[in-house]
Structure 1
Amino acid sequence: MAGVRPGLGSAYEASLEGARAAVLSRLWRGLAFEPLPWVVRREHGPDSLTLLLAGGGRLEGPPVDPYATDARVTSLRLDGRTYRQAARLVAALRVPHGAAFAAELDDSTASLALSRAGQPADPGPEPRTGWEWEQRVVDGHPYHPNCRSRPGFSVAEQLAYAPEHRPLVELGLVPVPARECLLTGEWPDHLREGDRILVPVHPWQAEHVLKGEEVRAAAFAAHPLMALRTLAPAAGGPHVKTALSTRLTSSVRDISAYSVETAAVVSAFAHALTERLDGRLHITRTLGAATAYGPDLAAVLREPPEAYAGPGERVVAVAALAGTGLARSAAWQAAFARLALSVCLTVLDLGVALEAHGQNLLVVLGPDGAPLRLVYRDLADIRISPARLARHGLAVPPLAGRLVTDDVTVLRRKLFGSLAAGALASTAGSSQAFGRALAAALDGLAPTADSELLRGGPLPAKALTLMRLSPGVPGDQWAQLPSPLAGG
């Protein structure tokens, strides 16, 4: 940092304490609620929570609100010893795979402090564009202890590529013979050259992964969005999702051949499905997808969400609204929850479970800030139920593989784990506020077998800490969070 951005040194040091508390708070939430095999029992006191561990250890800390986004746990006590850093606590726990997870937590803490240090004292007026809104998301995932983990990124690379540092990223291009590409959808003329396809490449990928490829550097400039590997070209036009073969938060961000192969079919199917929603939901179309030589060289071109904004309207990612004056209003929270649940439950009943977390789900705001409609982007991890589609007389798309399932538990976890325990909870910011918004939303909805899960039962949420401590277990693992509704 001293060599790249020397002026950040003092701000970084000042941000470290808060970053440590933010990561420790997220870790403590995971330890408090996830089905960790080495936690034998949890004892709840009026002002404390104690975890009894296999082998007789005791881990003590404050009570945990599972939906709070402003928790500030500054220390935990393990067998009488105080720990203020998440990585040191995990190392002391001596659990399987804890050393690798501890390193990720250290990285998350340092990156979060850097993110906070790089913010201007005055953020300025309200953003005018969607990418400006997204670049105001400083702390990353509201509940994941790896909220800012970016292994493989140097300080210079974080400053150059991470959205919260507001850079302009120069994407490269790799020319590939069309016969050697898997290509679906329509690939634009400006990304073609004779019989070759020009595949957009993130500069980090070009430097660290694609060393043997011919990469044309600085092909066009783009603004990184929350996902970091997805960017909005400065000149406008489709958003570009690039392959980025490093672990960000939980997953390695490549683009699989399966995603490219199914992109056009899934996009056309999802776009047609929105006709059943009376204009309340728009799904950004996947315009084209290409991959060559494996998942390390791939790109997806996606319609920008702003395409669905009318005069005087704004389209904002839900995660960017958390903590704003608008989202703090109980009336706004209730209106947004009513809109999101009515739309997403209808789509689920029709046969599609959206992964509607705060990054994928956007809301169209009227001139007065009222939530009017929803926009959903990134169809790579939805779930489609042939049985539910058939029940409504809808054509089943010609798909196989992980996107297709009739398993009710899988479908409900996909939606409720992202929407209820994710987008709605983090926007509300606490169990009390979330409970009020959820109750108001459900009060106006006709009960269904799916919605009954929200009416007092526990809510599914990804067991984010358990997943990072279980590297050999494929797929998602789940926790059950207490209902935010009274009596839950």
Structure 2
Amino acid sequence: MTTPHDAAAHITASLLAAAWRENLDGLRDNATVTPGPAPGQLTVHIDTSAGHIRATAQAGPFDQITPTGPIDCDGNTVTDPVTLLKALSPNAPEHLTRELDDAVTGLATALPRHQRLTDTIAETAKHHGATTTVALADILTDRQADFLPCRFLEPLAVDGHHLHPCARTRLGWNDADRRAYDLETPEPIAVRFVAARRDAIASATDDHGRDLGELLEHLHPPLRDLRDDDTIAIPVHPWQHRHLREGPGRDLYADGTLRDLPTRMDTEPTASIRTLVTADGSYLKCSLSIHITSTTRGISPATVHNGPILSRLLSEVIGGDDYLAPRIDILTEHAGASLPHGHPAARELSCLLRARLSDVTGPGELAVPATALAATSPVTGRSIAAELVDDSGLDAADFLHRYTFGLAGPTIRLATHYGIGTEAHLQNCVPTFRDGIPERVIVRDLGGGRVLLPRLAESGHRPDLHPASVITTTDAETVRAKVAYTVFQNHLAAVTTALTQDCGLTQDRAWRVIADTVDTLDLASGDRDFYTAATVPHKALLTMRVNPGRDIHVPVTNPLARP
């Protein structure tokens, strides 16, 4: 039985791990490290103005640690993250205290619901004679025409972002909202639709000039009878709909810019929470003005404008590159709509319609959300990654080589040859497997990448991106840092941890495999030097909450460095 204490302990451990990794307030500079009680473990001793902190942890790559037992401060066990924060960083802002408290509440709410979900999966596996969760996903894919394996596996990752102590923060939601709309909800989320006056909306159309409203009529036929040539239908998350009517959209309703449509559509949440999946597998990325991890999840007009343009760009680049075409794909962002840039509520009423996974996968190809790879299987008690290794017939090192080649190969090629740095962290990637063997990777969100404009232009591409875009840069280091953090520190670090825990692979061996794989890739010399340097920049998510307002990177030890 899970308890609120389990949630507090997890968030407390995650906070210490982040503070150590990021060297928050220089705490690691004056710390001492001694061998831990088991191989691969260490004991950290941190002296702060509040006292002496001691914890045993599993060592990982990029200065990552995973605390494995109680965290002690001057002989007292620290049982909640706010107490630990005050000891680590006495001047930390009050907003971070609220975010950590809310993260504990969020995880405490999620854990018993997650337990019920995993119990149901285990019972279903027994009913179907499936000996693993992966096998059950395959069986249900074959037997149920409407089965969505990605949605089925996604809720297994109950902890959320594995490098962020505020992964389960949902500031703006109450308890009823969490239960209705968070990842573990067993009930459908009924999306609302509003009709927005066309002359007040910024619209991004698909390759054929069709706008969001036209495409939605195929997805939700009741909209056809509600069509109005002067308006465009926009899906709105039900929480956001209430938020709009009560606050930023009140005047828009009053002056007739917006009006509600008398129809709703059932959807389910994904790990990003603001992105919802429909019954046919299409995705709706909707504004959601609550604070999750580090920011409020509205969607800028620039992101909406750029979605279809980046989709066309990447489809053209990938389709014209013999190396990329069989190894990487995207979920096309077909069309979108938002209030215009500069509007006071510009981020509050945005939506992008994204393609289905079934549009880009074939028979026998299992799409697994990367967030689920390190999650525990309800059937075997091992990670989903370990089940895939067993299915593949490969040893763990060969599996990791193939996975790295399939992930790092195309994402680094996009960056080094075209200047396109995809944000290929766990949440944005859906790798596919055939009989357990890594096949390719699908990138399902294009909004957080970086585009090196000079390099892209050299490759013959000059997309008409929004002038207020935050994704464009003329600095190669920015794109390299994006790839290094998302591909290696976030994504592959989680996969290697799962394989070391369940498949007997050591961290040293795992990162030698990854380094050897990177050595085989076609990289510009400056890119290779960056990815294999002694240290690489790490996006300091906790430090950025202590000192909000800008991106902060700190150097971390790089396991890809060559002697």
Same fold flag (TM > 0.5):
yes
Alignment-mate amino acid for residue 518 of structure 2: L
Which residue of 1 is the match for residue 34 of structure 2? 45
Once the two structures are superposed, residues 366-401 of structure 1 have per-residue CA deviations (whole angstroms, 9 ceiling, x without a partner) of 1x021112111211121111221233x322223343
Once the two structures are superposed, residues 42-86 of structure 1 have per-residue CA deviations (whole angstroms, 9 ceiling, x without a partner) of 322223222344x58543322452459993444333345431211
Would the alpha carbon gap of residues 202 and 344 (structure 1) be closer, same or farther in structure 2, given more than 3 Å must change? Answer: same
Q: 2:171 aligns with which of 151, 156, 159?
A: 151
Say which SS state the counterpart of residue 336 (structure 2) adopts: strand
Of residues 105-114 and 340-349 in structure 1, the stretch that sits farther from structure 2 once superposed is 105-114
Q: 2:228 aligns with which of 189, 193, 197?
A: 193
Which residue of 2 is the match for residue 416 of structure 1? 484
Q: CA offset at residue 241 of structure 1? A: 0.7
Say which SS state the counterpart of residue 210 (structure 1) adopts: helix
Which residue of 2 is the match for residue 435 of structure 1? 511
Which residue of 2 is the match for residue 458 of structure 1? 535
Whole-angstrom CA distance in 2 between matches of 1:168 and 1:398: 37
Judge conservation of contact 1:173–1:216 (CA < 8 Å) in 2.
Answer: yes
Whole-angstrom CA distance in 1 between matches of 2:51 and 2:65: 28
Which residue of 2 is the match for residue 4 of structure 1? none
Which residue of 1 is the match for residue 318 of structure 2? 274
Q: 2:400 aligns with which of 333, 337, 349?
A: 333
Say which SS state the counterpart of residue 21 (structure 1) adopts: helix
Of residues 382-391 and 209-218 in structure 1, the stretch that sits farther from structure 2 once superposed is 209-218
Say which SS state the counterpart of residue 184 (structure 2) adopts: helix
TM-score (norm 2): 0.77
Q: 1:316 aligns with which of 343, 352, 368?
A: 368
Alignment-mate amino acid for residue 198 of structure 1: A
Whole-angstrom CA distance in 1 between matches of 2:166 and 2:272: 14
Alignment-mate amino acid for residue 172 of structure 1: R
Would the alpha carbon gap of residues 372 and 484 (structure 1) be closer, same or farther in structure 2, given more than 3 Å must change? Answer: same
Which residue of 2 is the match for residue 405 of structure 1? 473
Whole-angstrom CA distance in 1 between matches of 2:276 and 2:508: 36
Whole-angstrom CA distance in 1 between matches of 2:64 and 2:555: 18
Matches within 5 A, 1:65-464: 65-67=59-61, 71-93=66-88, 95-118=90-113, 119-120=115-116, 121-123=119-121, 124-125=124-125, 126-127=136-137, 128=141, 129=148, 130-185=150-205, 186-189=211-214, 190=217, 192-211=227-246, 212=250, 213=253, 214-216=259-261, 219-234=264-279, 236=280, 238-275=282-319, 276=321, 277-292=324-339, 293-322=345-374, 323-324=383-384, 325-326=386-387, 329-349=396-416, 350-366=418-434, 368-391=435-458, 393-399=459-465, 400=467, 401-429=469-497, 431-432=507-508, 434-446=510-522, 448-449=524-525, 450-455=527-532, 457-464=534-541
Unmatched tracts of structure 2, length 5 or more: 37-42, 126-135, 142-147, 206-210, 218-222, 254-258, 340-344, 375-382, 390-395, 501-506
Whole-angstrom CA distance in 1 between matches of 2:401 and 2:314: 27
Displaced runs of 4+ in structure 1, greater than 6 A?
none
Alignment-mate amino acid for residue 552 of structure 2: Q
Judge conservation of contact 2:17–2:64 (CA < 8 Å) in 1.
Answer: no
CA RMSD of the aligned region, Å?
A: 2.6
Whole-angstrom CA distance in 2 between matches of 1:309 and 1:69: 34
Unmatched tracts of structure 1, length 5 or more: 1-10
Would the alpha carbon gap of residues 280 and 41 (structure 1) be closer, same or farther in structure 2, given more than 3 Å must change? Answer: same
Of residues 341-350 and 320-329 in structure 1, the stretch that sits farther from structure 2 once superposed is 320-329
Q: CA offset at residue 411 of structure 1? A: 0.7
Whole-angstrom CA distance in 1 between matches of 2:373 and 2:57: 27
Q: CA offset at residue 161 of structure 1? A: 0.9
Judge conservation of contact 1:134–1:226 (CA < 8 Å) in 2.
Answer: yes
The count of aligned residue pairs is 470
Judge conservation of contact 1:176–1:196 (CA < 8 Å) in 2.
Answer: yes
Judge conservation of contact 2:71–2:78 (CA < 8 Å) in 1.
Answer: yes
Would the alpha carbon gap of residues 434 and 201 (structure 1) be closer, same or farther in structure 2, given more than 3 Å must change? Answer: farther
Alignment-mate amino acid for residue 328 of structure 2: L
Q: CA offset at residue 216 of structure 1? A: 4.3
Would the alpha carbon gap of residues 73 and 63 (structure 1) be closer, same or farther in structure 2, given more than 3 Å must change? Answer: closer
Q: 2:6 aligns with which of 8, 13, 18?
A: 18
Which residue of 2 is the match for residue 479 of structure 1? 554
Whole-angstrom CA distance in 1 between matches of 2:81 and 2:68: 10
Point out the structure with the larger helix share. 2
Q: CA offset at residue 480 of structure 1? A: 2.5
Whole-angstrom CA distance in 2 between matches of 1:294 and 1:249: 21
Q: CA offset at residue 122 of structure 1? A: 4.3
Q: CA offset at residue 146 of structure 1? A: 0.8
Judge conservation of contact 2:212–2:233 (CA < 8 Å) in 1.
Answer: no
Say which SS state the counterpart of residue 387 (structure 1) adopts: helix
Judge conservation of contact 1:183–1:290 (CA < 8 Å) in 2.
Answer: yes
Q: CA offset at residue 135 of structure 1? A: 2.5
TM-score (norm 1): 0.89
Would the alpha carbon gap of residues 142 and 301 (structure 1) be closer, same or farther in structure 2, given more than 3 Å must change? Answer: same
